[in-house]
Amino acid sequence: MMEKMSEENIEEVRVLEAQIEQLQAEVEDLQQQDNHNDISFNFRGHMQDAMLYIFGQKPGAEKENVLSGLKEEVEELEEDLKLQTHMNGIILNSCTRKTLQRNKMKLVQQLCVSGVCSDLVFEVEFQHSEVKRGEQLKRTVSDLNVVMDSSDLQTFSSFLSGVEENRDLVLLFRTLRTFSDRCEERRRTFQHFQEKFPSVVSLPAGSGSEVMTLNHPKLPGCVLILHWSVEVCREGRVTPKMELLTKIPERALKLFPSQAVGGSAEAFQSLLRILGSEAAIEAVIMAVSLSADI
């Protein structure tokens, strides 16, 4: 009786082992099919040929032709990246990608891109989805989060909120270039006048800040402050804004007509409209210096 039960148990074990081996074979087949689908879903052309060759899906391919085609495609991508960097002024430092979902019909990835535009450092995180519907491929962006390092973020925060809400990556990078260009224009202008009129012009927070001060050496305490901000609305319009502020001791105010001092801001705005930014700033500097020969 015991021998009969033992033989039955052995037979059941053999049946179970056979079933396990069959299941393992099926899983291996599915994994190979999934690898093939993943490769086809993400790569095209020479890149796809190379990946198929590596994974053994294309045994008839010649190694030299595959590697040559792959090298050519990488070189084309590098040239395209250089061209895009030259056109939009954005240099990418890193790009990480994590796959969250992948099957024959849908691919969802978490991406994190960091880089610099002029002196403006940024990091962008978002989810990118690709969904196949018949012959069409629909791409969408979600969960967009933008982190930036800039002293002008107070004028940029409203725009960033709108970009994250609307998940508009194109608007973000287009406006980022325009914003950085206007900030670079301000930096160059401030630095130019500080080098040209060192006895009158000072930059308390450096050439990258919003403030330039004008102070005649023989009139201590009498200061004109040029505040040059770069404002960005939610729609992405970038607008430079300049204001001339006065800082004059109370004793000095008694020596000047109140109308002349009080109207300096309005007079500067008129100069901006007539002469433009650089000529208007230089006119104010010449007025503060009391002489054309500094």
Q: Which residues contact 55 (CB under 8 A, 6 or more apart)?
A: 35, 36, 39
Q: Examine the pLDDT at 17 and tell me if it is beyond 80.
A: no
In whole numbers, what is the pLDDT of the chain averaged over residues?
Answer: 75
CA distance 122 to 88: 15
Which pLDDT score, from 0 to 100, does residue 194 have?
Answer: 92
Note the pLDDT tens digit of each residue in 35-82.
444 444 444 555 555 555 555 555 455 556 656 666 776 667 667 666
35 vs 48, 51, 264, 265, CA distance in Å? 12, 10, 72, 68
> For the chain, what are the domain ranges?
2-42, 89-149, 180-289
Single out the residue of 117, 116, 138, 119 nearest to residue 129, CA to CA. Answer: 138
CA distance 52 to 36: 8
Higher pLDDT, 130 or 21: 130
Report whether 140 contacts 129 (CB < 8 A): yes
Q: Examine the pLDDT at 6 and tell me if it is beyond 60.
A: no
Coil, helix or strand at residue 92: strand
Helix (H) or strand (E) holding 50: helix 45-54
Confidence of residue 212 (pLDDT cuts 50, 70, 90): very high
Single out the residue of 174, 179, 189 nearest to residue 154, CA to CA. Answer: 179
Comparing 58-62, 143-147, 243-247, the range with the smallest average pLDDT is 58-62
pLDDT more than 90, % of the chain: 12
Q: Give the Cα-Cα-Cα angle 97, 103, 106 (nearest 5 degrees).
A: 70
Residue indicated by tokens 């599915």: 30
